[in-house]
Amino acid sequence: MAIRVLHVATGNVGRIALSQLIEDPRFELAGLVVSNPEKIGRDAGELAGLDVVTGVAATGDLDAALAAGPECTVYCAIGETRLFEALGDIAKILASGSNVVASSPVPLIYPWNLLPDRMIDPVEDACRAGGASLLATGVDPGWVNDLLPFALASTCQKVEQVRCSEIADYASYDGGPVVFDFMGFGRPAGDLPKMFKPGILAASWGVSLRMMAKGFGFELDDITEWFELEPAPEAFDVAAGHIPAGGVAGMRFQITGVAAGKEVLVIDHTTRLRGDLRPDWPQPAQDGGSYRVEITGEPSYRVDVCPTSAHGDHNHAAIAAGAGRIVNSIPDVVAAPPGLRTPLDLPFNTARGVFATALAH
């Protein structure tokens, strides 16, 4: 029997996740919640960009949508700029009895030793009250920093360091709040955005470092952060808006987990708005962007992951990968005992049903 799913938000991730919920026979769309008043009343198929009529109209009322009794809620509302509101939404959903898979807030990927108990406890209390489970995940932070390195390291006799990299040109990414407000592209180099305030990088990607350490069976002694910014040589435009001359147009940052005095786990991001900037920085394995996992050990590995899509470029493919990971986790999250879950708690997710869906056609 199909799992009844409520969907929240139709932004970059949410729209793609919604399209899978509509087309995948493993799921039945039980409702759709949006925040944009212009979307209220419109059919879910239209908002997903599909040429179908689902009969499910978007609403702005989360409480009313939960009254339909969904077994699981896909939560894709932005969390970077509204952390407390997002945590409140998720606690409400869990307490209602609906399981949750979420793309945000990122700290919920592995909140322990990051968020204070006063922020974690209401979520865990809501899980107990509703008998529901929560999984927050994605691609990076997410799959590139957990299941992929674990899969590679499972063949090693010893491991000295794991490095997970994203190397991408964001010129085609139209997420203005992330590009300009959170990451600070276009600003003078001295006008640091939220992402580069002390501790924010370590908070945003430290969740993955701590989860990796837990999975490998040790604890980190420290998490350090480093970044470098590159100004635009002249003004130019990208999908998200205008970059003035001298405004930040490239950045590289690293978040490093230290144990026993050694840099053992590293997350390394190189993000450009033009491919010709800083040729000395890491280069992607395909035009536009790729992910990379490098293991120093015996044996050692360098694995490049090059996402592509029939519906867009590398940026679209990366977003689609995050949406797919969230949606495909629904059956395991519904089956899990109540609580705040991570990939360390769940079965290896083979996305059972995805091939069957394709073969059924």
Could you tell me the CATH number of the domain that includes residue 84?
3.40.50.720
Query: Tell me, what's the pLDDT at 351?
Result: 72
Q: Are residues 338 and 307 in the same domain?
A: no
Region 213-223: mean pLDDT is 95
d(CA 93, CA 324): 21
Digit-coded pLDDT (tens) for 27-63: 999 999 999 999 999 999 999 999 999 999 999 999 9
Q: How confident is the model at residue 354 (pLDDT cuts 50, 70, 90)?
A: confident
Q: Are residues 44 and 127 in the same domain?
A: yes
* 316 assigned to some structural domain: no
Digit-coded pLDDT (tens) for 76-108: 998 877 889 999 999 999 999 999 999 999 999
Q: Are residues 123 and 208 in the same domain?
A: no
d(CA 30, CA 37): 20
Q: Are residues 305 and 162 in the same domain?
A: yes
Nearest alpha carbon to residue 217 among 348, 114, 302, 344: 344
* 194 assigned to some structural domain: yes
* 211 assigned to some structural domain: yes
CATH number at residue 284: 3.30.360
Number of domains in the chain: 2
Q: Are residues 59 and 148 in the same domain?
A: no
Question: Which pTM does this prediction carry?
Answer: 0.93
Q: Are residues 176 and 294 in the same domain?
A: yes
* 319 assigned to some structural domain: no
Q: Domain range for residue 95?
A: 3-137+329-360
DSSP 225: E
What six digits make up the tokens of 324? 């797919």
Q: Are residues 252 and 293 in the same domain?
A: yes
CB 304 within 8 A of CB 292: yes
What is each CA distance from 337 to 15, 72, 138, 157, 340, in whole angstroms? 29, 14, 21, 33, 9
d(CA 307, CA 144): 12
Q: Are residues 19 and 122 in the same domain?
A: yes
Judged against a pLDDT cut of 70, whether residue 357 lies above it is answered with no
d(CA 340, CA 108): 8
Q: Are residues 93 and 154 in the same domain?
A: no
Q: Are residues 7 and 106 in the same domain?
A: yes
Query: Tell me, what's the pLDDT at 83?
Result: 86
Q: Calculate the CA 30 to chain-centre distance.
A: 23
* 324 assigned to some structural domain: no
Digit-coded pLDDT (tens) for 276-331: 999 999 999 999 999 999 999 999 999 999 999 999 999 999 999 999 999 999 99
* Burial of 50 per CB tally in 10 Å (0-12, 13-18, 19+): middle
What does R_g of the chain's alpha carbons equal in angstroms? 20
Q: How confident is the model at residue 356 (pLDDT cuts 50, 70, 90)?
A: low
* 36 assigned to some structural domain: yes
* 40 assigned to some structural domain: yes
Q: How confident is the model at residue 175 (pLDDT cuts 50, 70, 90)?
A: confident
* 92 assigned to some structural domain: yes
Q: Are residues 131 and 247 in the same domain?
A: no
Region 186-204: mean pLDDT is 92
Q: Are residues 197 and 293 in the same domain?
A: yes
